[in-house]
Amino acid sequence: MQTIGITVLAISSITGLLALLLSIANKTIANYGEKKITINKDKELIVDGGDTLLSALMEQKVFIPSACGGKGSCGYCKVTVIEGGGQFLPTELGYVTPEERADGVRLSCQLKVREDIQIQIPAELLSVQQFEYHVEFLKDVTPSIKHLRLSLPEDEEIDFKAGQYIQLLAPKYKGNDEEVYRAYSIASSPLDPKAVELYIGYVKDGVATTYVHNYLKEGQKITVVGPYGDFYYQEGDREMVMVAIGTGMAPIMSILKYMHSKKIDRKVTFYFGARTREDLFEMETLEALQKDMPNLRVVTCLSKPTESCHWDGEKGRVTDMLKKFLENAEDKEAYLCGSPVMIDSVTPLLIEKGMPAERIYFDKFE
Alpha carbons 55 and 176: distance in angstroms, whole number = 19
pTM: 0.85
Instruction: List pLDDT tens digits, range 227-253.
Output: 999 999 999 999 999 999 999 999 999
Residue 101: how many other CB atoms lie within 10 Å: 13
Q: What is the largest CA-CA distance in the chain?
A: 84
The DSSP code sequence of 5-23 is HHHHHHHHHHHHHHHHHHH
pLDDT at 12: 44
Instruction: List pLDDT tens digits, range 20-33.
Output: 444 444 444 566 78
Amino acid sitting at position 345: S
pLDDT at 76: 86
| Beta partners for residue 100, in sequence order | none
pLDDT at 20: 47
Cα torsion 244, 250, 252, 256: sign? positive
10-residue block means of pLDDT along the chain (366 residues)?
47 48 49 90 93 93 84 88 92 92 95 95 92 96 97 94 96 89 95 97 93 97 95 96 96 98 96 95 96 96 90 93 93 95 96 96 87
Alpha carbons 39 and 37: distance in angstroms, whole number = 6
pLDDT at 67: 73
Domains and CATH numbers, the chain: 34-125 (3.10.20.30), 128-228 (2.40.30.10), 239-364 (3.40.50.80)
pLDDT at 195: 96
Backbone phi, then psi, for 67, in 5-degree steps?
Answer: -95, -10
